[in-house]
Structure 1
Amino acid sequence: MSSSRSTRQSLGLSSAATHSTLLTTDTSKTKTTGPYDRQFQQVLIDNGIYPQGYRYSDGRVPPKPDNWDQFGQMLARPRPSLSPSRFGDAEFDDLVQADADAGKEQQVCESVLPYIEGRVADARCRSGGVPFSNLEDLTDRPLTKGKPDVFYGARPEQLDRGVRDALSGHIIPSTQDDLLMLPNFYTEVKGPDGSLAVAGRQACYNGALGARGMHSLHTCGQAESTYDSNAYTITNTYHGGTFKIYTSHIEPPRTAGGRPETYMHQLNGYNLTGNIGNFRAGAAAYRNARDYAKMERDSAILQANERLAQLQAETAADEENVSPALSLVTALDTEETHTLTRDSGTSFDEDGHAARRDRESDSSPDELADYALPAKRPARRSMRQESQRKRRDAESYSSHNRTRSGDAYAA
């Protein structure tokens, strides 16, 4: 068995990675369906991916993410770069004119979106127009590959290479390995003649891909997937001066052996070209949400790296002659019920810098003044305590002959 396959299995991905393959029909004989096709949305719904505004046949409303309440205050936080001294009437008039002059989608992306985005701290963590040709299918019918207008993610080198390889089909969107990974912030743009309905379907699709990737990283190494029902993925649409922002989050399957379900909910909408106040509110929401998405993916990456490194070190100490790769596999194999925990308690200091150096914002540093992150969630049992407990259990079982079968206009 290859080391890549072993690592994949040890991370608990063997069943998750093959689930879509087992349910997919012969794609060589089936036409792909895309967001411009009217049946696209139904394909998503049939596979447990629900758009904004969906209601069940019995009238039930799909659940909002458990962390829904934190978004309202977070999105409304003011941004220094959008203050009257830095973004005034002249700049707003320029935005309105740019929107009026943009006759095509590409022109909107090039001349309007920069006003909303502000300065981007790391250009390598922003991309767009790249087909997501490396990601595994989400549905049992072949869909055209996602190709978001704008998306943000992490640098590949941030995550342990073995984990990247094992989770590739869920977190590496492009076959060009040096492009960003784990995208969880997306924007779809339409020109004056573009379809808002299409933008919504694209946003729903993008959000499901992003939510799956974050979920896979959060749960790598677990024997069974766990679901905290929080939203870690943000999608946006822009059409005719109107900007809308959504969450996407995953819930567990409703039936045994079923698929996880992904839900899209609108957080807010803004008429950016209506008046300068609307623009400031909408642009602030965009930038704040972008920073939130970065914080969450960086937290997931950091904890995955720390967890694997600790497991390797502990295993190496116990089995001195075992190679690092085999140590990782062996250590993860013993983590039958361990849950990969997350800590989003990072906060920014008075100068607007992240308290942890490895969690810099996608916004420029001066954007971050007065930006505070959500309160800490309770931490679970430490990994070392869990590992020590399991080692004691294993020794006890052995003594009784028993065996134990994983975010350039801001400045």
Structure 2
Amino acid sequence: MATRQNLKRPPAAGFPSEERPDKKVRGSEDADNFTQPSNFSPQFWDDLSRVWLTPRALRELDRRNDAAAQPAANPPAALLAVRGKSLDQFARHGGPNLCHLRGYWQVPKDDDDDDDAAAVEMFAKRRLAELQKEAEAAAPETKKASPYDDNFEQHLKDYGIYPEGHRGPAGGGDRCWPLEPRNMEELRSQLSARRPSLSPSSSPSLERAFEEFRRRNHDAVSEASVVANLIPAITGSASRIPNEFSLKFTSLASMTGERTVAPQPDYYEGARLDAVDSSVSWDLRDIIVPTKHARAPAVPNLFVEVKGPKGRLDVLSRQVCHDGAYGARAMNSLQNYCREEDHQDEDEDRDQNPEAAAFYDGNAYVYSAAYHSRDQNLVLYAHHPTAPRPAVRDDGDRPAPAEYHMNEIGTYLMKNLRGFIEGVTALRNARDAARRYRDDFIGAANARVR
């Protein structure tokens, strides 16, 4: 990801400090708690390469049909001109023939007629309102449609963000799909590394931890319960790594044209903002600094999304895909920060499409985890970027984007002690690896400006 070196340096005081509100967790299973529009914008639907039949798509269709059915407020000017000319010609010849009305008795008007008509009209309006209320009361409640539906996934693909198992768009060239990171073997070996705290010698304490985990999982009836009670049990001690729960990423530049919801992972880890040089954090502020909260972790590269017993697996997968793409972009931006000296011959390409001129090593430095409490299944993914392919996606209005890939690196059924130990070991090893990658990239970027 190219850097923005022409931006002004931050003021001496650094970023504005804000008091962070109390931590909140999402309470719904498939939709976010934060305020969002009832549907995506019309531009979202117009840009889709393929529209899937979902509740939100039907809602947009109803909206467009209602708008098309409304008559124009005023008749067109051309129609008024034609009517005016016809009336002039009609009046020039004496107007209509009224001979058949000669001698017709005028009906006497009763003063009570107006009162009767008004009473009838008032009764009709009142009765219509009563019928509408009865219909609304009898109608079944409509479940809130999740924004993470098939059309959301299609929008991600259209913007070069591919979920697990994606086979690639037409014109994939010589690429082998799905694209795995070059360090896939290293990633998987990292997950299985032994941890002293989870060794067989700790069997009694591990059994107690597993029984407590199983009890909490059984008692969890909502996504909020899973976030509050199960994530800490899986991740372990969180105090040594900066982390945050259910914080919406409001400051990052959108990767989907600002036409979808912003990422809001149930849990993520990053670095303290003051660990990043102020020049680096300022130049990359809309890529590595997810929120204006001064104490919120920056450079997020480990995410956890969960679902309660009634949560949908497809929604869970799309959420981690969305989160991981933002993390992969952040890490790639740090990797490319101040590398212009090594790419002087690519200045023209960088001006036209910064992402095309960026360096991509094909490795993954971002992890995500998805846990579903009904199945007690934990799945770990790796996310990595690759260079844009203009032949595949270039609509003229914007250059082809970098592509972001999500690959499964481990799955763990945590219904027994062995599965629990394997899953906890894998996620905690992923946390340590993500921190090492993050610290190395931050240190290298800081060194380039000092």
TM bucket, shorter chain: 0.5 to 0.7
Identity %: 34
- SS for the counterpart of 2:429 is helix
Q: Give the 5 Å matches for 1:4-403.
A: 5-6=7-8, 30=43, 35-56=147-168, 60-86=176-202, 87-122=205-240, 125-140=242-257, 142-223=259-340, 224-239=357-372, 240=374, 241-255=376-390, 257-273=399-415, 275-309=416-450
The one-letter amino acid paired with 1:296 is Y
The one-letter amino acid paired with 1:97 is R
- SS for the counterpart of 2:7 is helix
CA displacement, residues 48-98 of structure 1 (integer Å, 9 cap, x when unaligned) = 100001112569512211111101211111112222443332321221111
Give the distance between the partners of 1:91 and 1:236, measured in 2 at CA. 20
- 1:324 aligns with none
- SS for the counterpart of 2:150 is coil
The one-letter amino acid paired with 2:199 is S
- Maintained 8 Å contact 1:44/1:50: yes
The verdict on how the C-alpha distance between 1:233 and 1:70 changes in structure 2, with shifts beyond 3 A counting, is same
Q: CA deviation at 1:120?
A: 1.9
CA displacement, residues 180-224 of structure 1 (integer Å, 9 cap, x when unaligned) = 100000000100011111110000000000000011111012343
The one-letter amino acid paired with 1:102 is A
- Maintained 8 Å contact 1:35/1:202: no
Q: CA deviation at 1:283?
A: 0.5
Give the distance between the partners of 1:28 and 1:5, measured in 2 at CA. 31
| TM-score, structure 2 normalization | 0.60
CA displacement, residues 95-137 of structure 1 (integer Å, 9 cap, x when unaligned) = 11111111111111122222211112426x1102111000001
Give the distance between the partners of 1:284 and 1:217, measured in 2 at CA. 28
- SS for the counterpart of 1:182 is strand
- SS for the counterpart of 2:263 is coil
- Maintained 8 Å contact 1:243/1:270: yes
Give the distance between the partners of 2:306 and 2:165, measured in 1 at CA. 20
5+ unaligned residues in a row in structure 1: which ranges? 9-26, 310-411
- Maintained 8 Å contact 2:243/2:267: yes
CA displacement, residues 298-332 of structure 1 (integer Å, 9 cap, x when unaligned) = 000111111211xxxxxxxxxxxxxxxxxxxxxxx
Q: CA deviation at 1:35?
A: 4.3
Give the distance between the partners of 2:152 and 2:44, measured in 1 at CA. 12
Stretch of structure 1 that moved more, 69-78 or 258-267: 69-78
- Maintained 8 Å contact 1:135/1:172: yes
Give the distance between the partners of 1:157 and 1:302, measured in 2 at CA. 12
Give the distance between the partners of 2:181 and 2:154, measured in 1 at CA. 22
- Maintained 8 Å contact 2:271/2:299: yes
| TM-score, structure 1 normalization | 0.66
Give the distance between the partners of 2:293 and 2:236, measured in 1 at CA. 27
- SS for the counterpart of 2:420 is helix
5+ unaligned residues in a row in structure 2: which ranges? 11-39, 46-55, 57-145, 341-356, 392-398
Q: CA deviation at 1:31?
A: 6.4
The one-letter amino acid paired with 2:429 is N
Give the distance between the partners of 1:40 and 1:299, measured in 2 at CA. 34
- 1:346 aligns with none
Q: CA deviation at 1:140?
A: 3.0
**Structure index of larger Rg:** 2
- 2:120 aligns with none
- Maintained 8 Å contact 1:155/1:181: yes
Give the distance between the partners of 1:73 and 1:35, measured in 2 at CA. 35
The one-letter amino acid paired with 1:286 is L
**Matched length:** 288
Q: CA deviation at 1:6?
A: 4.7
Structure 1 segments (4+ residues) deviating >6 Å = 31-34
Q: CA deviation at 1:7?
A: 5.7
